[in-house]
Chains A and B, each alone.
Chain A
Amino acid sequence: MPLKRAPLGERPELLKMTHINKTFRGNVIALNDMNLTVNQGDFISLLGPSGCGKSTALRLIAGLMHPTSGSITWQGGQGEGDLGVVFQEPTLMPWARIKDNVWLPYRLRGKTYGQVKDEVLAALKLVGLEKFQNAYPRELSGGMKMRVSIARAMVTKPRLILMDEPFAALDEISRHKLNNDLLALRDAVGCTVVFVTHSVFESVFLSDRIVVMAARPGRVIRELEVAAPYPRTEAFRTSPEYTAYAREASDALHFAMEVAA
């Protein structure tokens, strides 16, 4: 049952970053006055060259570090299980079976496996891996491990999922497949995603909003909307519309590289 998403511009606010600055030791400015509003149902890509602070922004949202100044506010406050994270590596516990890996977010909140078995299996089913619930991570391919990682991020039905270049280490075929699957998943569970990438094509294919960032100091250069309708299929990848958006994003990225140099 695909959930109805409000059109861009009419979505209620979920999270707001206002005047975020982050300075590291040695006066390295990782982020300079970043403002970003994440609305419910958004698929936002943070696109930029290395060192533009996109991963820093993600870590700030995740609460893994605190901004030097500025604020991050959740609409209605941040609750337990509001956040799911997918890293560049699958980051599974090699000693735990697949189902136990997906159980982890609940387990750390004191839930026994029996209490959340249905949720765990449902999440695995969503990524098509329920048959492998008893396997160990090393028995799975890279793409499958990444899907387990996605299932783990989604199992608590979080309001926001953060993804830090999750498909960068995969081959192109797996990556395309996971792109498609991710969009299907998003339609199925209706989650909000902030996605870090340095691939123009990936960002255009996935997102409805692209935030282009520049380095030294890390900052937001442009924000563009990809108004192409979902569901987006393989045909979208070769459409003129896609190419036009890709050009726009690519130009913005080049501009970002120039101002940094």
Chain B
Amino acid sequence: MSATDTLPDTTAPDSSAKPAIDLDEERRARRAKVAAIARWLLPSLVMVAFIGGWQAYVTLAEIPHYILPSPLLIAKTLVEDWALLWPAMVTTGRLTLLALLLAVFGGLSIAVAFTQSRWVEMAMFPYAVILQVTPVVAIAPLLQIYVDSAFLAALLCAWIVAFFPILSNTTIGLKSTDHNLEDLFSIYGATRWQRLRFLAAPSALPYFLGGLKIAGGLALIGAVVAEFVIGRSGTGLGLASTLLEASYRFNFGRLYGALILISVMGVVIFGLMSLISHLLLFRWHESALKRD
């Protein structure tokens, strides 16, 4: 048998290396370059226009700051209140990450239990769904009553929201193994553990990571809800309680500052989850495949 086959070329075409490119290709290359710049430029322009318009409106229409603070005032508050906002952000961040970690742990364990025993799944899955579809805002006050530690109540609250996408995605992933590979594992006498470790787990990885992306956002939402409902007694002064407090005091600069920081946290969490997903999948998974 000869090895005359060659790997398909996976490197991007290098336009500078090839001297003669026809007009069509040149146009396509130029369009790709423009698109790459526009992907960053356009949202930035929208942002600048939006903030500029906001500032102009507040200034020209003389809107009082307790109705709508100007972007400049918000920026000033962010700097001046940083000593207060930063610890709040750390507090909320800690709650969010802890909830997400527990959601990953819980979601994965329950998913594995579900796929290892059909009976467990039949018995428990409906309750996982009920837990999920009941709005967390409605559960939170109960948690506060029944769970002594307010921090634990807040954590539980964020966990309930975050764990379900991990559970349901991972369960689907663990079940979506290639049937022929299943057969192959049977033929080679694989044990239950080998099946889980070498076949089901890698098959489930892309699904799990999809769930993780959703769960990251939901953990933040859960943390914010918990802070709103359970309050600073349990969680310390987080961003959401800061926001709530600022609204009672008509300190709208701080309110908007806290709101922006919560958004930033959401974006950072999403970015982190996407990065993790990319690092784990880019070598082999179709979702990470670039096509021209």
Contacts and interface: CB of A to CB of B under 8 A. Distances in A.
A180 B43 CA distance: 57
Nearest to B178: A91
Interface stretch (A4-12, A22-30, A100-108): A100-108
Interface of B: 1-5, 7-8, 10, 178, 180-181, 183-190, 194, 198-199, 202, 205, 283-286, 289
A64 interface: yes
Given A63-B187, A94-B285, A128 B181 contact: no
Contact of B286 (A80, A93, A96, A138): A138
B284 to A, nearest CB: 5
Interface of A: 59, 62-64, 80, 83, 85, 87, 89, 91, 93-96, 104-105, 107-109, 126-132, 135-141, 143-144, 147, 181, 184-185
A137 B180 CA distance: 16
A108 to B, nearest CB: 4
Main secondary structure of the interface of B (DSSP, over half): loop
Contacts, number: 78
27 contacts: A83-B187, A89-B180, A91-B180, A91-B181, A94-B285, A95-B202, A104-B198, A107-B198, A108-B188, A108-B189, A108-B190, A108-B198, A109-B189, A128-B3, A128-B4, A128-B5, A131-B3, A136-B283, A137-B284, A138-B286, A138-B289, A141-B5, A143-B5, A144-B5, A181-B1, A184-B1, A185-B1
Contacts of B7: 132, 135, 139-140
A138 B190 contact: no
Contacts of B4: 128
B83 to A, nearest CB: 47
Among A94, A141, A147, A185, which residue has the most Cβ atoms of chain B within 10 A? A94
Contact of A129 (B3, B178, B205): B3
Contact of A126 (B1, B10, B190, B198): B1
Given A129-B3, A138-B286, A64 B189 contact: no
Among B10, B186, B199, B284, which residue has the most Cβ atoms of chain A within 10 A? B284
Contacts of A85: 183-184, 187
